[in-house]
Chain A
Amino acid sequence: AQTVTQSQPEMSVQEAETVTLSCTYDTSESDYYLFWYKQPPSRQMILVIRQEAYKQQNATENRFSVNFQKAAKSFSLKISDSQLGDAAMYFCAYRSADSGGGADGLTFGKGTHLIIQP
């Protein structure tokens, strides 16, 4: 079974600064997908960024980028120019590419609480 580990229960960053959230995972599979989801106080789970394991290029979405190290099984999220609206819980998630046609769900980490200091 796959596991996802987020070793930072909480992180704090000054507004406009850059912060990196860590995520490691364990799998014996070669093809899979990795995600970062954001959960603000409203509790809705919002997709931030998505990475296909077969792609060497790191995914980017505006101020959000990842550092995907497949051999090290590491998938960190970098948030540049942090804004107050970035304050939230951030969850790293793994999904097997061989998930029975989409029948299976995700394996989530326990989350990192990101605090933005004004």
Chain B
Amino acid sequence: SQTIHQWPATLVQPVGSPLSLECTVEGTSNPNLYWYRQAAGRGLQLLFYSVGIGQISSEVPQNLSASRPQDRQFILSSKKLLLSDSGFYLCAWNGRGKAGNTIYFGEGSWLTVV
């Protein structure tokens, strides 16, 4: 069966420091991958999506970037964090077959920028 994992689960970083959140998917190949952010008390906002290695589309201009160095690996990065980057980040992947239009989420990563 397919699973998705992301880490770290919790991160506290000072303003101006770099960021790297990692996500991997198991049990499938060539998945569509997504990064979402959920600010406190708000819904989900799509940040990036990827349909293949090295292919990244950005939905919202911001301080963050994404990369996909391997088929089942998706990384969210920042060179210098801002206070406004704080939030809950979710990696997700697109199901296959009958669930081809369903998006499944990882456990999430809490980022607090101080």
User: Which A residues fall within an 8 A CB radius of B?
Assistant: 33, 35, 37, 42-47, 50, 91, 95, 97, 99, 101-106, 108-111
Contact = CB atoms under 8 A, between A and B. Distances in A.
Given A44-B108, A106-B44, A109-B43, A99 B90 contact: no
Nearest to A45: B105
A43 B108 contact: yes
B34 interface: yes
Nearest to B102: A50
A91 B43 contact: yes
B105 A97 contact: no
A42 to B, nearest CB: 8
A47 B34 contact: no
A99 B108 CA distance: 24
17 contacts: A43-B107, A43-B108, A44-B107, A45-B92, A50-B99, A50-B102, A95-B103, A101-B32, A102-B100, A102-B101, A103-B51, A105-B49, A105-B59, A106-B44, A106-B46, A108-B43, A111-B43
4 nearest interchain CB pairs? A45-B105, A105-B46, A108-B43, A102-B94
Contacts of A108: 43-44
Contacts of B100: 102
A91 B103 CA distance: 13
A45 B51 contact: no
B7 interface: no
Interface of B: 32, 34, 36, 38, 42-44, 46, 49, 51, 57, 59, 88, 90, 92, 94, 99-108, 110
Given A105-B36, A105-B49, A99 B101 contact: yes
B104 A47 contact: yes
A110 B103 CA distance: 18
B34 A33 contact: no
A97 B43 CA distance: 21
Residue from the set A43, A44, A99, A110 with the largest chain B CB neighbour count within 10 Å: A43
B49 A104 contact: yes
B103 A106 contact: yes
A110 B45 CA distance: 11
